Amino acid sequence: MFAFAGFVRPLFLLAVVFLLAACGGGDSSSSSGPAGPPGSPGTLTITVSATAGAGGSISPTSQTVEHGAIATFMVTPEAGYSIETISGCDGSLDGNDAYTTRAITGPCTVEAVFLLNAYTVSAIAGTGGDISPTSRTATHGATAAFTISPETGYSVDSVSGCGGSLEGNTYTTGTIISTCVVTASFTPGIAEVRISPVAPTVPLYTTLQLNAVAIYVDGSSQDITGTAAWSSSDVSVATMSTQEPGLLETEAEGQVTITARLNGKDGATVVSVGSPQLISIVLSDDSIALALGESARVTAEGHYAGDVNRDITQEVTWVSGNQSIATVSTTPPEAGRISTVSQGSTMVTASLNGLTESVQVSVSGAALAMVNVEPSSETITQGATLQLSALATYTDGSEIDVTTDATWASDNEAVIAVGNEAPNFGRVAGVSSGFGTISALIAGFTGTSLITVLEDPNAPKDLTLRALPNVILANGVDSTELLVLVRPNDSSLGVIVDGTRVDFSADDGRLTLSSVFGTTISGETGMAAVAKGPAGQTPVRAFIDGTLAEDLVTVRVVSSFATVIATATSVNRSIVNGVVQAGSSFSLSITNTSNRKFNVDRYEFTNGGVILSQITDPSLIGDGILEGGETIGIRTTLSTIQVDNGFAATFFLSDPVTGQAFSVSRTY
């Protein structure tokens, strides 16, 4: 057995040497420790290194793996680069840029090499030109240039693609980062400009729409009416509208050349502007009624194509259908004037360019020939009056009094006045010394009269009538005093003669006058008037016959003086939950619209008939007197809250003459 042991030992040593030789390979310096089972403290580990050239990276830069394991590295090109080659450790690259080695049995190195990308830039040219070269190869981040060459008759329309720009005929791309295409398009040039219609004729006053078409070198065409520049060779004959392209506007008869220009190319046509086209004749009258001896002028207006109207009275031919009834003048400047010959009816016709229009003329009896005012001259004194008459004389010699039909006027109203309303038509009055002409106008005829006014300082000039009071009670007893003051022409030196009569009138039956006239003492007079009729307003007139001195006053006859008291209210009311709050105020003012004086007896403010406030102190209610034209008012302010049962304010008044008591009240 000893001998057996000695035999086996050499064989064991030989086996260990063999195994070591099989695992070592080259680079034995990177291994460490004796071989042993994997994962055991004696396991063999190997370092795999990685390097990357310019343009990318590889990670990690080294890995330590166990003997027989594999190593994986991520290969990452920089922007614009791609992997050219990767080698070492017998590995392979998958589609995700991961490089995986073979089973590692010894130290090795993975090496990555990167390549700067290159792209193809293609060029495409449309019809009418060329682009060269048709393609270029550009590295990442570089630019490429192309030459653009239009054919004869064409121009560059647009060049685009690859983010470039055109300067002159050179198109330079932007920074190239991928394959792209440059495209050039070309626009055909204009070979000819044509205007239609060709050589047209257009009537004066009208417009004509011209159209322009561009014929291009490639045979295509395009309407350029709106883009062409239009011009006229003679703007006195025709102009081109600045608002509507191609619209010709005629100015005068003649010929003119119209040109349309675009991109240096012209087209032209000759336009003839002919006579205006008359569409209709319109006369100033459809029918005329004339009295025998009268004449009237009819005018004619021509309506032409182009919405133009003008007077053609002197151009038309005028003809009367019956010259024994009416004739018409054909001689300028009186062309169209119709004159009557005898009574009857006929047609007068105007003709031009084959068009006619007629007016019916009816002739009636004699026409007014003149107006005379009688007397034609007269002298009156200041303040005196005179009745003039107007006489109308007709073409047949007859005369008619037209005093009430005429319109009367004075050319010097400061000296002489004239009435122009009933019943004073033609009645003149001397205002001051001097001269004045009075005229009577009727149917276009005027008659005149020269009036001389002599100074009379003592003659009545005017008078003033007053009624005191101007309101009385309709009780058959209450009365008013009618007072008259007469003033002379010369207010400084003139004196109204005592005994001058002043007449009074009150015609509606409500008043009884104590007399129908009075006589002056120191220029004054007067009388009493008693109400005898129903309530209403009665005008009373006082006048001095034969003079301008007169005046009018209105006396009111009333059943209650309350009718002459006007009222006005204001309220400032605060309501909470349907209750009127303290501090709310109510005012009532009254105005005496007459000249009669009344007593103010008291004031009351009530709510639903319950007196909330009463004032009897005269000092608080206008001193207890309401004069004519005077206004007094009282404001009541609530001191406590109140339910609104109907607020009212009332003034209690009385008339000191008749004793009538009355009240005026307003509710809120």
Has residue 223 been placed in a domain?
A: yes
Has residue 23 been placed in a domain?
A: no
Q: Which of 163, 188, 213 is the last residue of a domain?
A: 188
| Burial of 547 from C-beta contacts in 10 A (0-12 / 13-18 / 19+) | buried
Has residue 22 been placed in a domain?
A: no
- The tokens for 35 are 């071989």
Q: How far apart are CA 624 and CA 653, in angstroms?
A: 9
Q: Which of 424, 454, 484 is the last residue of a domain?
A: 454
Largest CA distance in the chain: 203
Whether residues 503 and 469 share a domain: the answer is yes
Whether residues 553 and 573 share a domain: the answer is no
Whether residues 448 and 379 share a domain: the answer is yes
Whether residues 586 and 641 share a domain: the answer is yes
Has residue 18 been placed in a domain?
A: no
The DSSP secondary-structure symbol of 363 reads: E
The DSSP secondary-structure symbol of 640 reads: S
Whether residues 571 and 634 share a domain: the answer is yes
Whether residues 362 and 372 share a domain: the answer is no
Has residue 15 been placed in a domain?
A: no
Has residue 7 been placed in a domain?
A: no
Q: Which of 116, 147, 166 is the last residue of a domain?
A: 116
Whether residues 655 and 579 share a domain: the answer is yes
CATH number of the domain residue 292 falls in: 2.60.40.1080
Token pair 């000296």 is found at: 415
Whether residues 73 and 62 share a domain: the answer is yes
Whether residues 303 and 320 share a domain: the answer is yes
pLDDT value of position 287 = 96
Has residue 19 been placed in a domain?
A: no
Q: How far apart are CA 114 and CA 498, in angstroms?
A: 144
3-state SS, 255-324, equals EEEEEEEECCEEEEEEEEEECCCEEEEEECCCEEEEEECCEEECCEEEEECCCEEEECCCCCEEEECCCC
Average pLDDT by consecutive 10-residue portion of the chain (668 residues)? Answer: 33 30 34 43 85 94 94 94 94 91 94 94 95 94 95 93 95 95 94 96 95 94 96 97 96 96 95 94 95 91 92 96 96 94 95 96 90 95 92 86 96 95 93 94 95 91 95 92 94 92 88 94 94 89 90 95 97 95 97 97 97 96 96 96 96 96 97
Name residues whose C-beta falls within 8 Å of residue 202's C-beta, 6 or more positions apart in sequence.
208, 248, 250, 271, 272, 273, 274
Whether residues 447 and 471 share a domain: the answer is no
Q: How far apart are CA 239 and CA 233, in angstroms?
A: 9
CATH number of the domain residue 635 falls in: 2.60.40
Token pair 């102190």 is found at: 617
Q: How far apart are CA 505 and CA 513, in angstroms?
A: 8
Has residue 432 been placed in a domain?
A: yes
Question: Could you give the 3-state DSSP secondary structure of residue 656?
Answer: coil
Q: How far apart are CA 155 and CA 128, in angstroms?
A: 8
Whether residues 81 and 97 share a domain: the answer is yes
Q: How many domains does the chain have?
A: 7
3-state SS, 62-119, equals EEEEECCCCCEEEEEECCCEEEEEEECCCCEECCCCEEECCCCCCCEEEEEEEEECEE
Whether residues 551 and 467 share a domain: the answer is yes
Domain carrying residue 217 = 190-274
